[in-house]
Amino acid sequence: MAAIGIDYGTSNSEVVYFDGQQHQFIKLDPSLEAANKIRSSVFIYYKDELPRPPIPMIEAKIAQLKRAISDKIEKAKEGYYQASDPKEQRIHSARIDELRAEYHNLPALQERAIELLLEDMTVQDLPLHQLVATGEFAFGEEGFKRYLKMPEKGRLIYSPKNFLGANLVSGQQEAFVGLIAKQLAFFRESAELQIGETVDSAVIGRPVRFHGTRGKEGNSQAIEIMTQAAKAAGFTKVEFLEEPIAAAYKIERTLDRHTNVLVVDIGGGTTDICCIKLSPEKLANLDRQLDVMSVTGTRLGGMECDKNLITKSIAVTMGHGMLMRNGLPVPPAYYSDMCAVDDIPKLNRFFSEDYWLDIANTKSLVKEPKLLERLQVVQEEKLSARLVNSSRLAKELLSSKDEIILPLHYIEADYDVKLNVDELKRSMQSWLTRVKSLVTECLKNSAEAPEMLFITGGMSLSPIVKKELLELLPGLPVMEGDAFNSVCEGLGIQAAKFK
Ligand SMILES: Nc1ncnc2c1ncn2[C@@H]1O[C@H](COP(=O)(O)OP(=O)(O)OP(=O)(O)O)[C@@H](O)[C@H]1O
Ligand SMILES: [Mg+2]
């Protein structure tokens, strides 16, 4: 029996098996040749027809059909009373009997109701739990490609982890348990296949605070969902470890003496920081909580930067800031709603017909309706996730280039947006201020000062982020390390202690 480390990230996930000597990364995505990670997004879709609509929808449709039959019965009764001869009366009477039989024939009504509902139902009308229970799953790049090719056939959950601490309405919690169970089962089976052993235990990384506005309650909900999902995925033993502490366990193996280290992990969904006493002599110790001098984290990740780059730069080319005839600007909420890929109710509202009408109305009130047409295409064709993903790519490219041209041809032919590093930096300002105050908070709570800095997580690859952190912590030596693998390798190290 083996135990693995699972870094279930907002943007990417990784799985590592540590045999006490070496780390073995589990290959999760066959379409990414060199990489160990997999996109955390999931596309749930239907190859052919949609499943049966949900029961309340069928019941409402049956009630509607029954009302229509009742009206017909009333009309036939009128005809019966107004009939001028017995022959005509018999015709009406037979019609009434026929309609009454129709009214009471529940199986036939049900069939008709389903038929009618399916005629104009889309995947978006299905509640998430039904989608999870009946749809097909596609993970990683394959899922994202399917979504790009046929978005109307399914639903892309861009970052399931982002929802775990959020306010979930009835049925959604079960839906996320089901969805994540499928991902974790896939990870477990991939690990078994690669290491040739049964995998029954895991140490799963967790942010200090899950993305969401519900504080403690949100965190317990997230852990509860992950625990249930892991059980359903076939794990019999599961532990959680804060992500920055996991990263610390990995770098501890590279130290030759006792060192206080400040670990800053800036990922796609959250920033997590800890100040911890590390030492080669403590490698084998099971419980390390006493060595953690302070730990903090919040929902400040790269995805927020992607959205800010849209609302602060890209959206200008979609009419953001334009004035209407009454002198007021086009509602700025259009653009934040457009980017709400981590808020299902908000995004569904954005995709609704009413919202389309609202934009259409605004379009008639501006000088350059063409710009708003781009917003309307994103709305109509449900391209929000694709646009946020383009913005992510732009942000990543601007880590190595000063200026780029971002093609958005899926919105409009020849629609290119020029972006430069200064614009990106401006759009990141408020985010950077919050990241820095989180670092300061962690330092304030730590009993001893750090002697080394370790920055990890995908956002640590941004020169803008790196520069700001180094300026905040002048003179603190920086440890070189990996931006993506440290957390997972640390989780693998912790998992190996299970035996
Ligand atoms: N070269 C780069 N320059 C800037 N940002 C980058 C670069 N490469 C990746 N990123 C960003 O890093 C983020 C993903 O980082 P990472 O994989 O560490 O997150 P995660 O572990 O999935 O999320 P979390 O730990 O918050 O749950 C994304 O926002 C991505 O755009
Ligand atoms: Mg991470």
Regarding the beta carbon of 464 and ligand 1, being less than 6 Å apart is answered no
Asked if residue 93 is part of any domain, the answer here is: yes
Instruction: Compute the half-sphere exposure of residue 344: CA atoms within 13 Å on the CB side of its CA.
Output: 22
Residues with CB under 5 A from ligand 2 (ion): 9, 267
Regarding the beta carbon of 392 and ligand 1, being less than 6 Å apart is answered yes
Residue 303 C-alpha to ligand 2 middle, in angstroms? 12
62 and 6 share a domain? no
81 and 184 share a domain? no
218 and 354 share a domain? no
If one residue of 32, 245, 459, 466 were mutated to test the ligand 1 pocket, choosing by the most ligand atoms within 8 A of its CB, it would be 459
Conformation bin of residue 439: beta by default, left when phi > 0, alpha when psi is -120 to 50: alpha
Instruction: Record the tokens describing residue 371, joined without a space.
Output: 């710009």
Q: Which residue, 64, 74, 71, is CA-closest to 116?
A: 64
pLDDT at 498: 82
Regarding the beta carbon of 443 and ligand 1, being less than 6 Å apart is answered no
Regarding the beta carbon of 267 and ligand 1, being less than 6 Å apart is answered yes
- Say if pTM beats, i.e. exceeds, 0.75: yes
220 and 151 share a domain? yes
Q: Do the Cβ atoms of 133 and 181 come closer than 8 Å? A: no
94 and 209 share a domain? no
Q: Which residue, 232, 210, 214, 233, is CA-closest to 222?
A: 210
- Domain span at residue 375 reads 303-426
37 and 171 share a domain? yes
Asked if residue 81 is part of any domain, the answer here is: yes
Q: Which atom of ligand 1 has the smallest separation from the CA of 7?
A: 21
pLDDT at 121: 74
- 146: domain CATH number is 3.30.420.40
Asked if residue 275 is part of any domain, the answer here is: no
In whole angstroms, give the CA distance from residue 308 to residue 129.
31
61 and 107 share a domain? yes
32 and 167 share a domain? yes
User: Which of 77, 93, 121 finishes a domain?
Assistant: 121
Regarding the beta carbon of 9 and ligand 1, being less than 6 Å apart is answered yes
Helix, strand and coil in the chain, % to nearest 5 = 55, 20, 30
Regarding the beta carbon of 165 and ligand 1, being less than 6 Å apart is answered no
113 and 197 share a domain? no
Regarding the beta carbon of 269 and ligand 1, being less than 6 Å apart is answered yes
8 and 60 share a domain? no
29 and 161 share a domain? yes
Asked if residue 399 is part of any domain, the answer here is: yes
User: Which of 426, 443, 469 finishes a domain?
Assistant: 426
In whole angstroms, give the CA distance from residue 51 to residue 57.
13
Q: Domain tally for the chain?
A: 3
Residue 338 C-alpha to ligand 1 middle, in angstroms? 21
pLDDT at 34: 66
Secondary structure letter of residue 47 according to DSSP: S
In whole angstroms, give the CA distance from residue 247 to residue 267.
12
Instruction: Compute the half-sphere exposure of residue 179: CA atoms within 13 Å on the CB side of its CA.
Output: 31
Asked if residue 317 is part of any domain, the answer here is: yes
Regarding the beta carbon of 205 and ligand 1, being less than 6 Å apart is answered no
Cα–Cα separations (whole angstroms), residue 85 to 74, 125, 405 = 19, 51, 82
User: What is the chain's pLDDT, residue by residue, as a tens digit (499 residues)?
Assistant: 999 999 999 999 999 999 999 999 999 998 877 668 999 999 999 988 788 888 888 999 999 999 999 999 999 999 999 998 999 999 999 999 999 999 999 999 999 998 888 887 777 778 889 899 999 999 999 999 999 998 888 999 989 999 998 888 878 999 999 999 999 999 999 999 999 999 999 999 999 888 766 778 889 999 999 999 999 999 999 999 999 999 999 999 999 999 999 999 999 999 999 999 999 998 888 788 899 999 999 989 999 999 999 999 999 999 999 999 999 999 999 999 999 998 888 998 999 999 999 999 999 999 999 999 999 999 999 999 999 999 999 999 999 999 999 999 999 999 999 999 999 999 999 999 999 999 999 999 999 999 999 999 999 999 999 999 999 999 999 998 888 999 999 999 999 998 6
**Which residues share a beta bridge with 418?**
405
Asked if residue 445 is part of any domain, the answer here is: no
Secondary structure letter of residue 331 according to DSSP: P
Asked if residue 457 is part of any domain, the answer here is: no
Q: Do the Cβ atoms of 494 and 246 come closer than 8 Å? A: yes
Looking at the chain, how many residues does it have? 499
User: Which of 379, 405, 426 finishes a domain?
Assistant: 426
In whole angstroms, give the CA distance from residue 393 to residue 378.
18
Regarding the beta carbon of 210 and ligand 1, being less than 6 Å apart is answered no
If one residue of 11, 29, 242 were mutated to test the ligand 1 pocket, choosing by the most ligand atoms within 8 A of its CB, it would be 11
Instruction: Compute the half-sphere exposure of residue 324: CA atoms within 13 Å on the CB side of its CA.
Output: 14
Asked if residue 142 is part of any domain, the answer here is: yes
217 and 310 share a domain? no
